[in-house]
Structure 1
């Protein structure tokens, strides 16, 4: 009981910490440093830079949005199959809240695009969404908190005497996939921020 209670408490503490960080991150969007608007001189945009922007957009999308889709699918599978388990109610609610937070985080990060609704030359200005997007990644994935959350969820499940390991195979497999995909983003954080830096540099050349 000591170990079980300890893991429950650790997950609760981590969830509370990440919820607070997530709230502060959303509030930061309104800060002055993320609300500058730059006027672009569209007359001098080179074809080479336009091609680079397209390349960055495709690479970023394939590296993040595909990964995000897998993460959301894993969470959906876990929540769907967890309903058929007979684990204690407080643990079910705790795990569900933790998974929903991860889902909210990735929906929040996904609230961003590379101005793909128009051609680059149709834009007369751009704002600090690139800078804010880099800030999102840094705040959320510069540590292993979300990976640790998945580990704690697994511990809590394994230690619940009502968890059916045979029926819960899909849950465990999906948690493994979720851990791998989130760890990939953590370990490759620089990849995402570097792409956003390069993308922003091109825009800044034409202000």
Structure 2
């Protein structure tokens, strides 16, 4: 649930970008990101790198567009957001707190949190999200060179990549548990 809530600002941004200016879209996304952080705090959860990075990214974009009066193309703004997500994810990896780890810690028991495989799995999942964001960036850049391509094509690619990363985030921990259970079942019982 928490990872879905962290994506709400991106949904708001994408929807509004189809209807209004980049300044309005980014400012609204920043406001939704702040509300998501407040919601987390009220529920007793921690403030997360990805959430703070999202507020900073959309807040800076909204402020820049509002103060300068500059308007970028929707494609240019989406490229900036893709770069922002990549920077946030790489920052979380650089400080050795993969952003998925902060969400995962709040959804598992203490015994699971202590497992080395838990940390490793979150590095893998964060790299998958980083890769998905990089592919979204590539898709958006390609749209510059294919101006006759329909808008829905770029949106479908981005939507598909995001959903693939979400699917992997849900599938991978279950896969690891299944593999661990399989290995445990194959291990012979100690002799008595």
TM above 0.5, yes or no, is no
**Greater helix percent: which structure?**
2
- The normalised TM-score by structure 1 is 0.31
* CA radius of gyration, larger in: 1
- Higher relative CO (CA 8 A, sep ≥ 6), structure 1 or 2? 1
- The normalised TM-score by structure 2 is 0.33
